[in-house]
Amino acid sequence: MFAWDSDWFFFFCKQTLVCMNAWSRLEEILMIVCSFGHVCCTCRPKGDVYKSLQLLEVSKQILIENDRGGYTIPAKGLYPYQWNWDSALVALGWATLDEGRAWQELEKLFSAQWEDGLVPHIVFHQPSPTYFPGPEIWGSVEQPMGSTGITQPPVAAITVRKLYETALNKELALQKLKELFPKLLAWHRWFQSARDPENTGLVATLHPWESGMDNSPAWDEALYNVPVDQIPPYVRKDLGHVDSAMRPKQEEYDRYLTLLYRFRAVNYDCNQLYFLSPFRVTDLCTNSVLYRANLDLRWLANELGQDQIAEEVDGWIKKARIAFDSLYDEEAGLYKSKDQLTGELVTAKTSAGFLPLFARVASASQAADLAATLERWLKRVKHGIPSYDPESSNFEPLRYWRGPVWVIINWMITDGLRAYGYEDLALRVEADTYELLVSHGINEYYDPVTGAAAGGKLFSWTAAMCLAWLSKGDGAHPAAAH
């Protein structure tokens, strides 16, 4: 551990108190000092403590600014509602500031859970004129919907375990766990029944928005097989907030909307969507997050003495474990998503291909291949991890999910690298991430070649990752390993 001299120590404590006046407990300060000690001694010069403090303060202010009363919007204007996986990650940031507020973030998300168990990808708590497609498109002008009718990668169980295990207020944590557990279980059961009705072990994603990686090149083939329907004319609002060079193209939006209207026509009936959707993929991100979330759900079930449920979840894990191998492309040294309608693995190599490390579902030799592939990618860019293979001819360093670096994905992949013993590689990615945050601010994503900030500004989940990473030295749950 880094040895702090006493002057530094007292200066640091004072600064911490000044900057974060809500943090008054010595225990917390010591925790911060320790985590900075870890960061400082391993990958950056000691002087960066000032920058780290600034980053923490800015991140905290972003969460406060984006707080809409119990839930956090991802970014003003561009994303003015509550997004599912954003919120589950944002809760990890809140936990470093206010545990009660972190639990509330999840409670608000689950307040929109559907009767069938689905937890929607967006919850429209209050109207907003700055986003399209809003509640009146998912529903109708006469009857706007309270949420979308699709989902997103199920990060929440992972967050609940982290909040529960690291809670200072244990009593509150146990109470919240008891309240949230049945809701998490209902959502995970929904994934099994609605998204794997054929019992393959892996779940289907029916809209690129469900993957969270909307216009990843992984969807190109499957999305271009979706015929564009006659849909009502529409005006995109995202382009009023972010340069079009950083956003999905019109031909992709037409297909996003086509899918939305087709799903709306059957009232988002989960028993029909799987069979009627012209877009159906096995998304690596959703399946990796779900696998990891199931490990954590099983752990939580055991913690609550719910043995039968733990067994049920264990069954899903076992099935998925076998099925995951069908997504491994040995020649590429990477996992790949699959188009379920053609039965083919997609050609695109994306950063989601490393997420089986976060899931803990890769074998030791697959993990070694993934680490080698990642090292090769990192040699091609200044800042890792690009979201798309930088060796590919259509790598676009600035366009949404077609090249840029995402801090949340770096957080997941470094967690996985560490769990498999690739500490140096994890540190390299953390150092890159830190450099991006310090030099370019808290944005939605970053250009891996130049480091330039891109997408939405003052972005909540980037701020939250920064808080979680720097404040608590957040890492993997060793106990979650299979």
Residues with a known catalytic role: 214, 444
Query: Considering beta carbons, is residue 12 or 209 the nearer one to ligand DGY?
Result: 209
Euclidean distance between CA atoms 188 and 184, whole angstroms: 6
Tell the smallest beta-carbon distance from residue 320 to ligand DGY (Å).
25
Minimum gap (Å) between residue 112 Cβ and ligand DGY: 15
Mask for 243-262, x = binds ligand DGY (CB under 6 A) = --------------------
SS3 content of the chain, % helix, strand, coil (to 5): 55, 5, 40
Nearest distance from C-beta of residue 245 to ligand DGY, angstroms: 15
> Whole-angstrom Cα distance, residue 475 to residue 465?
11
Q: Which of 248, 242, 217 is nearest to 390 (CA)?
A: 217
75 phi/psi in degrees, rounded to 5: -165, 145
Site string (202-221) toward ligand DGY, x via CB under 6 A = -------x----x-------
Determine the Cα–Cα distance for residues 140 and 432; give it in Å rounded to an integer: 45
Is 444 a binder of ligand DGY (CB under 6 A)? no
User: Closest by alpha carbon to 158, among 320, 358, 310?
Assistant: 358
Closest CA to 295 of 211, 356, 371: 356
Residue ranges with strand state E in 342-386: 344-345
Binding pattern for the stretch 11-50 against ligand DGY, x by CB under 6 A and - elsewhere: ----------------------------------------
Question: What is the C-alpha separation between 425 and 414, in angstroms, rounded?
Answer: 8
**Residues 82-121 close enough to bind ligand DGY by CB under 6 A:** 121
Between 208 and 386, CB nearer to ligand DGY: 208
Distances (CA, A) of 468 to 84, 92, 118, 207, 464: 18, 6, 27, 30, 6
Q: Which residue is nearest to ligand DGY (CB)?
A: 209
Q: How far is the CB of 179 from ligand DGY (least distance, A)?
A: 27
Q: Which of 97, 101, 72, 99 is nearest to 21 (CA)?
A: 97
Nearer to ligand DGY, 298 or 399 (CB): 399
432 touches ligand DGY by CB under 6 A: no
When the beta carbons of 214 and 339 are compared against ligand DGY, the nearer one is 214
The answer to whether residues 92 and 162 touch, using CB atoms and an 8 Å cutoff, is yes
Least separation in angstroms between residue 214's CB and ligand DGY is: 5
* Dihedral angle, C-alpha 206, 400, 422, 466, nearest 10 °: -110
Is 238 a binding residue for ligand DGY by CB under 6 A? The answer is yes
Q: How many residues bind ligand DGY (CB under 6 A)?
A: 4
Name the minimum Å distance from CB 409 to ligand DGY: 15
Q: Which is nearer to ligand DGY, 134 or 416 (CB)?
A: 134
Structure tokens at 442: 């808290």
- Give 37 or 208: the residue with its C-beta nearer to ligand DGY: 208
Nearer to ligand DGY, 214 or 283 (CB): 214
Nearest distance from C-beta of residue 263 to ligand DGY, angstroms: 14
CB of 77 to ligand DGY, least distance (A): 12
**Sequence-separated (6 or more) residues with CB below 8 Å from residue 321:** 201, 291, 361, 482
Instruction: Tell me the C-alpha distance between 161 and 173, whole Å.
Output: 10
Among candidate residues 471, 476, 475, 478, the one with its CA nearest the CA of residue 168: 471
Indicate the residue among 121 and 402 with the shorter CB distance to ligand DGY: 121
Q: Which residues contact 119 (CB under 8 A, 6 or more apart)?
A: 84, 109, 110, 112, 113, 151, 154, 156, 183, 187
Closest listed residue to residue 18, CA positions, set 62, 67, 54, 66:
54
Q: Would you state the structure tokens that stand for residue 279, as one six-digit string?
A: 């877009």
Shortest approach of ligand DGY to residue 435 CB, angstroms? 26
Please identify, using beta-carbon distances, which residue of 214 and 432 lies nearer to ligand DGY. Answer: 214
Residues 6+ apart with CB under 8 A from 160: 106, 176, 177, 180, 181, 184, 296, 300
Which residues sit at the interface with ligand DGY, rule CB under 6 A?
121, 209, 214, 238
